[in-house]
Structures are given as structure tokens and as C-alpha cells.
């Protein structure tokens, strides 16, 4: 049994639980996420042995923060197997 927790991001984040008796590839997970009604929390559909449940949406706003920090020492520690 395989269980995936999947999310789809835009300004909002939609959450799904996908259960299958076989391993799924990325395309199959994406296809499964399109099955349930995302206007109803708990909506569930099953197709080809894959059951997907839409669990909830985290609603975002238009605020976005982007930043990038590069630390050479941190990078070297990770390359040598150090922990963050």
C-alpha cells in the first residue's frame, strides 16, 4: 500500500491524500489530484485502484517574499555530510 500527501500551489495551497496499492509516478499523482471536487472538503474519488481525497485549502494572499542566502561554509558542511 502506498500513501501520498500531495499539494498544489498557486497563491493558495490545496492538500490531497492519495492511496494506492501500487507506486505512482508524478503524472499519475497529478492526474489523481484532478479527480475530487475541490469545492468540498473531504470529497473523494477512486479510479484505477487509486483513491484520492481532497482534504483542505490553505488560502494565501498576494504577499510574496523571495530571498536567497548562500553560505559557502554551510554548503561545504553539507557536501561533507554535515547536518543543517
For 46, other C-beta atoms within 10 Å of its C-beta total 14
| pLDDT score of 1 | 76
Q: Which of 45, 43, 41 is nearest to 59 (CA)?
A: 41
User: How far apart are the C-alpha atoms of 18 and 12, rounded to whole Å?
Assistant: 19
User: How far apart are the C-alpha atoms of 61 and 6, rounded to whole Å?
Assistant: 21
pLDDT tens per residue across span 1-54 = 788 888 777 778 889 999 998 899 989 999 999 999 999 999 999 999 999 999
Total-model pTM: 0.65
Amino acid at each position: 500500500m502506498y500513501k501520498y500527501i500531495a499539494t498544489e500551489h498557486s497563491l493558495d495551497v490545496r492538500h490531497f491524500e492519495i492511496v494506492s496499492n501500487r507506486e505512482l509516478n508524478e503524472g499519475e499523482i497529478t492526474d489523481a489530484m484532478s479527480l475530487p471536487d475541490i469545492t468540498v472538503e473531504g470529497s473523494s474519488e477512486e479510479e484505477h485502484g487509486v483513491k484520492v481525497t481532497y482534504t483542505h485549502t490553505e488560502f494565501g494572499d498576494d504577499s510574496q517574499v523571495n530571498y536567497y542566502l548562500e553560505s559557502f561554509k554551510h554548503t561545504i558542511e553539507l557536501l561533507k555530510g554535515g547536518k543543517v
